[in-house]
Copies of this chain bind each other. A is one copy, B any other.
């Protein structure tokens, strides 16, 4: 039996799925209130302003991501396996529609009109993810398990863009399988043995 989530966690859960569907301006306090059966004012008790709510959401999202990526590095044997696990995570999310888009990718598109406190957190997530990918690629190259055509930082950026672009295409073409079709060859290219 899963313990009942606290109200503030429930609020963040609903807000997350609404943001994934429609971005920062795509949901309202009323939407959340209706979804979990409380009043709008109760949400303001937990998160006084919308900017604070979304900031808290991004903080939680980043904390979970950091935890996930860290345990990935500890559990997965090789850098190649780590990359694959990262991609597999999103493949599963998009496949079963549980989290069919990265919250921060969604928000990043709206950066020009996001409250500063939210925008800077979204940028933080991008920087963190880029660093993680860079270090994995670097380790793989050092062990001669991955073949990089570019500097690790640049390969990391390319991979990240591929992942986010693939999420968008999967949505635009309404084809979850498209995500893997786009991302897998990129991984395969890195994994290919030195020729």
Contacts and interface: CB of A to CB of B under 8 A. Distances in A.
Contacts of A104: 172
Q: Which of A106, A109, A160, A171 has the most CB of B within 10 A?
A: A109
A14 interface: no
A182 interface: yes
A50 interface: no
A166 B161 contact: yes
A25 interface: yes
A174 B165 CA distance: 17
Contact of A106 (B109, B122, B130, B173): B109
A111 to B, nearest CB: 6
B185 A150 contact: yes
A160 B154 contact: no
Interface in A140-177: 149-150, 154, 157-158, 160-166, 168-169, 171-174
Interface of A: 21-23, 25-26, 101, 104-106, 108-113, 122-123, 126-127, 130, 149-150, 154, 157-158, 160-166, 168-169, 171-174, 178, 181-182, 185-186, 189, 195
Closest 4 CB pairs of A and B: A161-B165, A165-B165, A25-B25, A22-B113
Given A101-B109, A108-B171, A164-B169, 7 more contacts: A25-B25, A111-B172, A126-B169, A150-B185, A154-B182, A164-B168, A165-B166
24 contacts: A21-B110, A21-B113, A22-B25, A22-B110, A23-B23, A23-B26, A25-B25, A26-B113, A101-B109, A122-B172, A123-B172, A126-B173, A149-B185, A154-B181, A157-B178, A157-B182, A160-B169, A161-B166, A161-B168, A162-B165, A164-B165, A164-B168, A164-B169, A165-B166
